[in-house]
Chain A
Amino acid sequence: MHRARSNRFALSLLVVGFGVFLCALGNALARAGSEPAMSAYLVGLVVIGLPIFFRLLGSEASNGERLALVCLLGIALYLVKVVHDAPSFTFTDELIHAFNVEQIREHGHLFHHNPVLKVTPYYPGFEGATSALVKVTGLSTYAAGTVLVGIARLTLIGGLFLLFERIGGSARTAGLAAAIYTTNFNFLFWGAQFSYESLALPLLVIVMLMVAEREATARTLIGEWAAPLIVAIAAIVITHHLTSYALIVILALLAGLLWYSSRNWDPPNPWPYALLAAILAACWLAVVAGETFSYLSNPLSEALEALGKTIAGESAPRGLFQGGGAAGPTPIGARLVALLGVALLGIGWVFGIRATWRRYRTRPWPLLFMLGSLGFFLALGLRLAPAAWETGNRASEFFFIGLAFVVAGAGLTELRWPSRRWAPWLLTGAFGFVLIGGVISGWPWDAQLAKPLRVSAAGGTISSPPLAMAEWAKAEGPEGNWAAATADANLLLVPGGRNVTTGKGPDVEDMLTNPSLEPWQVRMLRENDLRYVVTDRREVSNDGLRGYFFPLRGDSDFDKLLFPGVVSKFSAIPGTARIYDNGLIAIYDLGGRP
């Protein structure tokens, strides 16, 4: 029996390995400009997800096999992200955090200035952890970071399984819920990137698991959970702002629900830990990370304002699938799959919420999950408001924990199916749509596959224009303050290692896209001591997701150019030298003349 299970799991391993390879093949074909890249990639995702879900639906698998299967699913999907862009970071936040690691590597200390995202050095947990691997092993930041996020992913998926198992009392429910969690919009790419939330979210799940385990512990031993909980909570607080606030809300809600069900604040009610998390987060905010307040409050107030205006009809709702940037819209078929995925989740939720309420309404954790699942659908509404969609998108990772439990814990395992024979096949098919739909909803269609960053040519390897510029800056670029468009600036951080300003404050973005030189631009450059200006004809240079790659012949949407004036205008500033030129990108030195 055990041998048969072991063989079955090994076969799953083989199939999933094949799925990962197909995804890598899809990405390789995309980099080479060949077809059928997208088909290979999507088939690869299906090959990874469906056999595992089918096996989890059945009743034969042991608890250990279920845990192993969800871990396999989580790691395989992480490998899909890894093969997307190895051996380089290419997501916006990745380069910003990699720069922080490089600063720690170089200086041996924390809290060094990050010119692009100023708040990040004040949450050094993630970069600090990466620096341990970088420092001791001598590996590159990319290699160390990829391993660290991989371990964090394993912690997340295994932690979720154990949490769901503890709350639902069933390994089958837990396996299905953990598998459904992997379909959340941000699981494949956003949540797997080299960024502080990729460590903080798994830590949050581990805190939730420990709180749940604590509830199940004998009263006299509850105090033994104190040290592990304090360590994990403190780590979240110094790792990621939003996750620490989510932790406070989750623990406070749980404390309230526990009180509601027992009219008792005594242990195991977790209110002391909610209070501890709130105090630690407040202290960190006040003493170390004061900039977080403006960093978070501005987009949050904008999101609320935009939502209010959209609801009041004062501004038009944001169209769905607008993440395509210059690369054009998401194909209609992909949109339908994404919408179908959400609809299937909605159907699962309708059945699940009824069953969960019937079965668990007196228990705090399922009630918390039910609230979370409701929050997921409310957050979907934020996607219709132009300035609020990102908030809604980011929140889905947290709310999806509740949704996964509700759909799997009650929806899938409690339903009475007319045909027991076909039900697993239908459910597995539905999972496929939800998985692919989540992938489409969470990441722009044109960015699902890799783009060429380095290309093999006549026996050598050539780099894309912005990467070549950044590599030059690292090797030959002078010290001092640089100004550049978003994508160029990110590459100037890593691998360039330059101190670079980008974005709207100061308004480098408008300066670099305006074809005429205006007095405010020169004034801004002087006031901010920005000596080196990186000009870029590519419209996509302001896109932190797409602006790193080779322009491709025939891809007119992707390769739109700004007016030549955006580059040439700086030569009109007296004493300015032009020190670098690669056709699309030129660098000016405003202090070129002594």
Chain B
Amino acid sequence: MRGHGDLRAVVIVAVVLAALALVVPLGWLSLLLLAPLAFFLTGYAILLAAFVEGPQPWPRAFWISLGLSLAVLALLPLPLNYLGGLTPATWAIALALVVLVAAAIAAARRPADWTGTSLAALRPPPVSPLAAACGLAALALAAGAIVLAQVPLSNSKAEGFSELWMRPGPGGASVRVGVGNEEQRRTAYEVRAKFAGGREVTRSLTLSPGETSTLRFAVIPPGTLANAAFVSVLLFRRAEPDLPYRRVYGWIPAGTQ
């Protein structure tokens, strides 16, 4: 690529961005680094390779580059699927490689006396303080909108509930019983586990909204595949101790897959 500074710059930027995006541990920062490569440079490199006289004029080159970059993102998984799989490293290498190969093709196709222009010649328009302030305020509003969308809000009409579940413990010697409080308020529960043979074990617990707890009950004698132990578990709210609220049951151990 001697004599083609624009191509060399595109390749260097692509390789550096790919490497940095790969090593930076923060997701959003990594995305900021990857975005120019994934959403622009690959497509732009293809335009450079296709058009000997230089890519289309702005803003067409920009939008076609965006589109082609999306196309490259859609197409690359196919070869990657058969060449090492879709891993962070193969993705980063593949994206940089697209730029490298396209730039090499562009360099080979260009005549010796090539004097085309490139997108790098573009200069952003000047921005007045008022415009900058408005832009920042708009960004803040958009960011505020997205944050607001993500904040869970209270809603007194939403009907809360509680979860009860059971899963076999290891070796048929125990059963794990889970209680989840999805009620609107802190709730006191009583869990009654009834085993084959009539043994009954009761545990109490109190959970805040969104909280879960897992209890472990011993199965005596332990169940076996030939003689599984039946367990029935009832959940009561302490405010209504005689009204079964949830019920699960099953055998310990459970049937195999």
- Is B184 among interface residues, defined by CB-CB distance under 8 A? yes
A135, A205, A234: most-surrounded residue (chain B CB, <10 A): A135
Report, nearest first, the 7 A-B pairs whose CB atoms are least far apart.
A128-B77, A577-B250, A206-B67, A125-B74, A460-B210, A17-B138, A235-B71
Please indicate the chain B residues that have their CB under 8 angstroms from the CB of A581 in the complex: 163-165, 235, 246-248
A: interface residue count bin = 35 or more
Q: Please report the C-alpha to C-alpha distance between residue A110 and residue B138 in the assembled complex, in whole angstroms.
A: 40
**Segment touching A, from B6-14, B151-159, B189-197, B198-206:** B151-159
- Is A569 among interface residues, defined by CB-CB distance under 8 A? no
B27, B72, B246: most-surrounded residue (chain A CB, <10 A): B27
Please give me the residue from chain A that is nearest to B257 by CB atom.
A480
Q: Please report the C-alpha to C-alpha distance between residue A459 and residue B183 in the assembled complex, in whole angstroms.
A: 12
Q: Please report the C-alpha to C-alpha distance between residue A100 and residue B200 in the assembled complex, in whole angstroms.
A: 45
Query: When the two chains form the complex, which single residue of A143, A159, A205, A594 contacts B228, counting CB atoms closer than 8 Å?
Result: A594
Chain A 437-477, CB-CB to B under 8 Å as 1, else 0, gives 00000000000001010111111111111001100100010
- Is A209 among interface residues, defined by CB-CB distance under 8 A? yes
Chain B 160-200, CB-CB to A under 8 Å as 1, else 0, gives 11111111000000000010111111100000000000000
Interface contact A476-B28, CB-CB below 8 Å = no
Please give me the residue from chain A that is nearest to B184 by CB atom.
A457
Q: Please report the C-alpha to C-alpha distance between residue A16 and residue B231 in the assembled complex, in whole angstroms.
A: 60
- Is A238 among interface residues, defined by CB-CB distance under 8 A? yes
Interface contact A579-B154, CB-CB below 8 Å = no
Shortest distance between the CB of B108 and any CB in chain A (Å): 14
- Is B254 among interface residues, defined by CB-CB distance under 8 A? yes
Please indicate the chain B residues that have their CB under 8 angstroms from the CB of A7 in the complex: 128, 130-131, 134
Please give me the residue from chain A that is nearest to B66 by CB atom.
A155
Query: When the two chains form the complex, which single residue of B63, B140, B153, B158 contacts A158, counting CB atoms closer than 8 Å?
Result: B63
A14, A137, A226, A231: most-surrounded residue (chain B CB, <10 A): A137
Chain A 314-327, CB-CB to B under 8 Å as 1, else 0, gives 00000000000000
- Is A332 among interface residues, defined by CB-CB distance under 8 A? no
- Given A132-B95, A459-B209, A472-B165, does the pair A6, B67 have CB atoms closer than 8 Å? no
- Is A162 among interface residues, defined by CB-CB distance under 8 A? yes
- Given A7-B131, A228-B46, A550-B158, does the pair A462, B148 have CB atoms closer than 8 Å? no
Number of interface residues of B (CB under 8 A): 110
- Is A436 among interface residues, defined by CB-CB distance under 8 A? no
Shortest distance between the CB of B99 and any CB in chain A (Å): 14
Interface contact B186-A458, CB-CB below 8 Å = yes
Shortest distance between the CB of B190 and any CB in chain A (Å): 15
Query: When the two chains form the complex, which single residue of B22, B145, B211 contacts A23, counting CB atoms closer than 8 Å?
Result: B145
**Chain A residues proximal to chain B, CB less than 8 Å:** 2-3, 6-7, 9-11, 13-14, 16-18, 20-21, 23-25, 27-28, 31-33, 64, 67, 79, 82-87, 104, 108-111, 124-129, 131-133, 135-139, 143-144, 147-148, 151-152, 154-155, 158-159, 162, 199, 202-203, 205-206, 209-210, 213, 221, 224-228, 231-232, 234-236, 238-239, 450, 452, 454-465, 468-469, 472, 476, 478-480, 531, 550-555, 575, 577-584, 589, 591-594
Q: Please report the C-alpha to C-alpha distance between residue A70 and residue B209 in the assembled complex, in whole angstroms.
A: 45
Interface contact B141-A461, CB-CB below 8 Å = no
Please indicate the chain A residues that have their CB under 8 angstroms from the CB of B152 in the complex: 454-456, 461
Shortest distance between the CB of A48 and any CB in chain B (Å): 11
Interface contact A452-B131, CB-CB below 8 Å = no
- Given A128-B76, A579-B250, A580-B163, does the pair A232, B71 have CB atoms closer than 8 Å? yes
Interface contact B154-A456, CB-CB below 8 Å = yes
- Given A10-B134, A589-B255, does the pair A129, B73 have CB atoms closer than 8 Å? yes
Chain B 91-122, CB-CB to A under 8 Å as 1, else 0, gives 11001000000000000000000000000000
Interface contact A136-B92, CB-CB below 8 Å = yes
Please give me the residue from chain A that is nearest to B235 by CB atom.
A581
Shortest distance between the CB of B33 and any CB in chain A (Å): 9
Q: Please report the C-alpha to C-alpha distance between residue A463 and residue B53 in the assembled complex, in whole angstroms.
A: 58
Please give me the residue from chain B that is nearest to A25 by CB atom.
B148
A-B contact pairs, 5 of them (CB 8 A): A7-B134, A158-B63, A231-B46, A460-B209, A468-B161
Interface contact A109-B50, CB-CB below 8 Å = no
- Given A124-B77, A135-B87, A232-B71, does the pair A13, B66 have CB atoms closer than 8 Å? no
Q: Please report the C-alpha to C-alpha distance between residue A27 and residue B147 in the assembled complex, in whole angstroms.
A: 12
Please give me the residue from chain A that is nearest to B77 by CB atom.
A128
Please indicate the chain B residues that have their CB under 8 angstroms from the CB of A203 in the complex: 67, 70-71, 74
- Given A124-B77, A452-B158, does the pair A17, B163 have CB atoms closer than 8 Å? no
